[in-house]
Amino acid sequence: MNTTTALPVTNSERSSLIRLYLSRGVLAIAWAIAFAAVHNTLDAIAVALLVLYPLIDAVSCLIDLLAVPEGAERRVTAFNGVLSTVIAAALGIAGTTGSVAAVLGVFGAWAILSGAAQLTVGVYRRGPVLGKQWPTLISGGLSFLVGATYIAQAIDDSPALDVLAIYATGGGVFFIAQAALLAWKQRTH
């Protein structure tokens, strides 16, 4: 598989990715701000926000899926969208139990799996036409590592949910950086 070959990408496809990444980034940061304000108790608002975050990812995957041609990248994007939908339900269940450890464990598992998917999509898109995808690759790798940390924290004596707002903020920054990189590439081509 030659993943460095530049695939023909129209300005419309690139613009669509720019809007998608920028929207995901802004939504992730907005979510982080909202969750940071309510994460101290697993009440209805906190649980609703926990469910919302992976649903944002699922909808983003659906939008991305509609713009991606057939192939391995499309299958990974579809997998990530289904995974995010399942995780939204799992977070809803974990949140209603009131168990911070359960929520952190589910979120950690999602971070690992979605980070691996994000790394895979970044590899497929890393050609020069789509901006090398360094922010996406770094973000996916960090998500994978942070997810493992969350699982370790979940089995610790005092798991805490404040780390989730930090995770979302970091993801948001990387999505915005990827959008900026793609916009810069679009202007130079």
6 falls within a domain: no
Mean pLDDT of the 79-86 span: 94
**Which range marks the domain in which residue 69 is found?**
11-188
In degrees to the nearest 10, what's the CA dihedral of 86, 46, 99, 88?
Answer: 0
Query: Is pLDDT of 4 > 60?
Result: no
Q: Is residue 26 part of a domain?
A: yes
Instruction: Report pLDDT digits (tens) over 29-74.
Output: 999 999 999 999 899 999 999 999 999 999 998 998 887 667 777 8
What whole-number distance in Å separates Cα of residue 88 and Cα of residue 92?
6
Over the stretch 123-132, which tens digit does the pLDDT of each residue have?
766 555 444 5
Average pLDDT over residues 69-82: 81
Average the pLDDT over 73-77 and give the result.
Answer: 80
Residue 1, domain member (yes or no) = no
**Residue 155 pLDDT more than 90?**
yes
Q: Which residues contact 71 (CB under 8 A, 6 or more apart)?
A: 124
- Structurally, how many domains does the chain consist of? 1
pLDDT of 125: 61
What is the reported pLDDT for 50? 97
Assigned domain for 3 exists: no
Tell me the mean pLDDT in the region 22-31: 96
Side-chain half-sphere CA neighbours of 9 within 13 A? 23
Q: Which two tokens stand for residue 142?
A: 């960090």
Question: Does residue 125 lie within any of the structural domains?
Answer: yes
Check residues 81 and 72 and name the one with the higher pLDDT: 81
pTM: 0.83
pLDDT at 42: 93
| Structural domain includes residue 163 | yes
pLDDT tens figures, 88-101: 999 999 999 999 99
Q: CB burial class (10 A; 0-12, 13-18, 19+) of residue 62? A: middle
Per the domain annotation, does 181 fall within a domain?
yes
132 lies in a domain?
yes
* CA dist., res. 17 & res. 137, Å (int): 15
